[in-house]
C-alpha cells in the first residue's frame, strides 16, 4: 500500500493548517499509531488533583483537555469514515466548548479519560491502517468546507501535537509531576 501524501492547502479548511503543519514528514499511518504514547506518558503520572488544574480561570482543566482530544478525534474519524466510504453528505460542524462544558469530564477520573483516549486512538489507527489507497484521496464537505481523508488524518495527528504542547507549556509547567 502506498504512503498517503501530505494534504494540499485546498483539501481542508485553512483553520486546520496550524495542526497539519505540526505533523512531521513520514508515514501518517505509523505516526497515528505511535504518537499517542508520548501524550500518555505526560498524563499517566498526574494525580487527580493535578488533573483538575486550570492554567487560567476561564480555561479548561487537564481532564477537559483530555476529553476534548477524544471528542475531536471521534468526530474527525466519523468524518474520515464517511468520506472514505464515498458518502458525499455534507457533515456539520460542532462547538468544542459546548462539548467540553457539558460532557462531565471533571466528574470522571483522569485514568478513565486517558483510557478512553487510548481506545479511541486504537480505533483511529485501525481504520487508517486498513484504508485502501484510493480512499485517502476522497474528499467531502465538513462544516461547509472541503476536506480529504488524508487531511483528516493529518488534522488528528496535529491536533494531538497541539494539545500536547499546551499541556506541557501551560498546564504541566505549573504543577509538580511526581
Residue 7 lies in a domain: no
Q: Model pTM? A: 0.95
Residue 133 lies in a domain: yes
How many domains are there within the chain?
A: 1
Residue 128 lies in a domain: yes
* CA–CA dist 178, 92 (Å, integer): 42
Per-residue pLDDT of 13-63, as tens digits, reads 999 999 999 999 999 999 999 999 999 999 999 999 999 999 999 999 999
Give the DSSP per-residue string, 63-130: HHHHHHHHHHHHHHHHHHHHHHTT--PPBP---HHHHHHHS-GGGS-HHHHHHHHHHHHHHHHHHHHT
- Residue 97: which domain range? 12-171
Per-residue pLDDT of 118-129, as tens digits, reads 999 999 999 999
Residue 6 lies in a domain: no
Residue 144 lies in a domain: yes
Amino acid at each position: 500500500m502506498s504512503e498517503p501524501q501530505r494534504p494540499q492547502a485546498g483539501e481542508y479548511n485553512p483553520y486546520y493548517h496550524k495542526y497539519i503543519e505540526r505533523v512531521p514528514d513520514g508515514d501518517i499511518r505509523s505516526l497515528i499509531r505511535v504518537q499517542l504514547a508520548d501524550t500518555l506518558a505526560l498524563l499517566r503520572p498526574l494525580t487527580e488533583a493535578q488533573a483538575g488544574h486550570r492554567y487560567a480561570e476561564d480555561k479548561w482543566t487537564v481532564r477537559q483537555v483530555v476529553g476534548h482530544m477524544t471528542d475531536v478525534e471521534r468526530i474527525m474519524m466519523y468524518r474520515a469514515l464517511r468520506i472514505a466510504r464515498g458518502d458525499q453528505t455534507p457533515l456539520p460542524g460542532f462547538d468544542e466548548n459546548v462539548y467540553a462544558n457539558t460532557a462531565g469530564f471533571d466528574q470522571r477520573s483522569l485514568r478513565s479519560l486517558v483510557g478512553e483516549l487510548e481506545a479511541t486512538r486504537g480505533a483511529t489507527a485501525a481504520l487508517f491502517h486498513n484504508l485502501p489507497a484510493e480512499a485517502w484521496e476522497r474528499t467531502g464537505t465538513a462544516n461547509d468546507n472541503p476536506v480529504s481523508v488524508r487531511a483528516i488524518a493529518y488534522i488528528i495527528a496535529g491536533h494531538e501535537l497541539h494539545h500536547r504542547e499546551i499541556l506541557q507549556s501551560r498546564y504541566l509547567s505549573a504543577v509538580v509531576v511526581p
